[in-house]
Structure 1
């Protein structure tokens, strides 16, 4: 049999492949972005969506392909003889099946012969049965003649035809499963959809991602303070990023202890960086007391700063401010403790410094 004519391969459905690639990229991008964004903003529904989206898409893709697979399975494959032009092992373990790249001339009984290249797994023990110039039996779908597979154990009828067949090589072109140009286009479409979907998820939740960072600090300032009030005392503890040296923080904390009612008489007010303690006078006590609201709180941060910077304490570690009137008049005392030094100053009821005790 002499073969001189080669049929041209049919065109693939490029628009369908592009749409499929675009959808696949979109699902991958949206799923990954939903997982990352959901983890950052601690959104369980968004995180679960990121996990479930690929599964739903895969199920829909499988269901959409069922009719096509049923139609393809219903069509009986065609059987033909083919001449081995060349073969090359491309991968595989030495003791198992290896992937072999075949170049065949396929000669159907009722159609024009053609060349085709494909890869098929062949057991090492059967490799000697396939050699250039040899004849084999192949099968392929009638509507996709490039999807050729070698029949490893043909029927006796086809074995008899193989024994007496001689096929001439057909010239190119050589059919392959996919055109490289289409693969590149589909790949670019998939990548573009992936980036667009990921960017869309980030933009959709940009307020939670970026604005939340700007609003975190005020919300912590308002909610991280702890107030405890009893009949004998009241305390306010600030969060780790706050200080009673911040403007207005002391006055606000004292107000939270009184709750808008008339102030109770206090024996002492003690302030540290993040702790305010007020000790109230017991009922009927004759000890000298004062109104906590009468303390010049706006002056206290400046007094603490002066004690830390002007009394010779080289490395101030902690400070404590105490307000009391045990001596008859209201006294504000600021003590600073350094690595190996201590210092203090005293101020009157208006916050004016009246005595300094440098470091010693």
Structure 2
């Protein structure tokens, strides 16, 4: 069966491509401003890197108000649906995300299958069982954006109690049309151009930093071996592992961070970024009032478990990459674990003790 929508997905328009390019540019400019600001010890540039995402977010919010108003004006359709299957995908208290597979039976169209996630209170979870009849709503032009109506009107409640629905076949499953590869290319182009613009504007100061640091054997070192390589400067450090190794191996990440801080005065970090075989640390320069934290205080024993949870519970079934980012930009240590795959990008956030405080499933 084919579901025909009345409007094309909004993310396929040139305006959406422009927004993606702008978002990539802001991301690249922000990261470059933070790193370059630390390297050249420019407080205004560093503050610009902190403020730019907030300004962009505010402008994006204001620009999106007309669109949100139009979407709010669209009357959603109400229909009956039958639970084919359900599975809790995380959490053990309060509202937990539940993955539903439903057969939706509109009054004026053919039945179809849809999979989606919705938070359900743990106390109410026993009310949802395979074969149960629910009342759902969805935008008429986006049938995959189904939401369960937890408190339907008496009329729909009576219809649900008396209804019997047949399962729609698997081929009738609808889902949000995937974004094309053009969006990834546009975002990458924006990121590279944003970062390049900052580096070019401050290339003189950066070259002066390299020239000044070059004669000092203590400020720049490079150590290579068959298993890993380390590159250090006064305000940053990078450790690369060889093939077959991972920073999720027992004790590997802690040893790498210790190698960047050993034999030096206590160093505070601005950011710590970890990938499968790459560790990058940006240190805070002395006297610069920047959000910072002790890189040795990270809950290293919890990080492999956080990565595993992000890879298995957020809807990315075959994760291709993962990344841990630790920073103190919000005033307290925050650890974000992101994963990407065919389903998109998902992430979870944890506090300084490695306890998960927020989950963002793939959509």
Q: 1:213 to 1:168 in 2, by over 3 A?
A: closer
| Aligned-partner Cα distance in 1 for 2:62–2:159 | 41
Deviations 1:257-292 (A, max 9, x none): xxxxxxxxxxxxxxxxxxxxxxxxxxxxxxxxxxxx
Shift of 1:157: 0.8
| Aligned-partner Cα distance in 1 for 2:209–2:61 | 40
Shift of 1:184: 6.0
Establish whether residue 100 from structure 1 lines up as the match of residue 85 from structure 2: no
1:188-207 to structure 2, matched below 5 A, reads 188-207=185-204
CA contact (8 A) 2:3 2:174 kept: no
CA contact (8 A) 1:34 1:46 kept: yes
Structure 2 gap segments, 5+ residues each? 215-363
TM-score relative to the length of structure 1: 0.53
Q: 1:107 to 1:41 in 2, by over 3 A?
A: same
In the other structure, the counterpart of 1:111 is 109
1:53-132 to structure 2, matched below 5 A, reads 53-93=52-92, 95-132=93-130
Structure 1 gap segments, 5+ residues each? 218-360
Deviations 1:186-211 (A, max 9, x none): 34543442233212211221112104
| Aligned-partner Cα distance in 1 for 2:167–2:68 | 33
3-state SS, counterpart of residue 79 of structure 2: strand
3-state SS, counterpart of residue 91 of structure 1: coil
In the other structure, the counterpart of 2:3 is 7
CA contact (8 A) 1:120 1:149 kept: yes
CA contact (8 A) 1:81 1:162 kept: yes
Aligned-CA RMSD value: 2.6
| Aligned-partner Cα distance in 2 for 1:127–1:42 | 54
| Aligned-partner Cα distance in 1 for 2:213–2:151 | 72
TM-score relative to the length of structure 2: 0.52
CA contact (8 A) 1:106 1:116 kept: yes
| Aligned-partner Cα distance in 1 for 2:172–2:21 | 30
Q: Which piece of structure 1 moves more, 167-176 or 11-20?
A: 11-20
3-state SS, counterpart of residue 100 of structure 1: strand
Q: 1:88 to 1:178 in 2, by over 3 A?
A: farther
1:79-228 to structure 2, matched below 5 A, reads 79-93=78-92, 95-171=93-169, 172-177=171-176, 179=178, 182=179, 186-211=183-208, 214=211
3-state SS, counterpart of residue 20 of structure 1: helix
Deviations 1:197-244 (A, max 9, x none): 212211221112104654899xxxxxxxxxxxxxxxxxxxxxxxxxxx
| Aligned-partner Cα distance in 1 for 2:26–2:86 | 39
CA contact (8 A) 1:6 1:115 kept: no
In the other structure, the counterpart of 2:331 is none
Q: 1:185 to 1:119 in 2, by over 3 A?
A: farther
1:279-318 to structure 2, matched below 5 A, reads none
Shift of 1:165: 0.8
CA contact (8 A) 1:106 1:115 kept: yes
| Aligned-partner Cα distance in 2 for 1:215–1:134 | 71
Shift of 1:39: 2.9
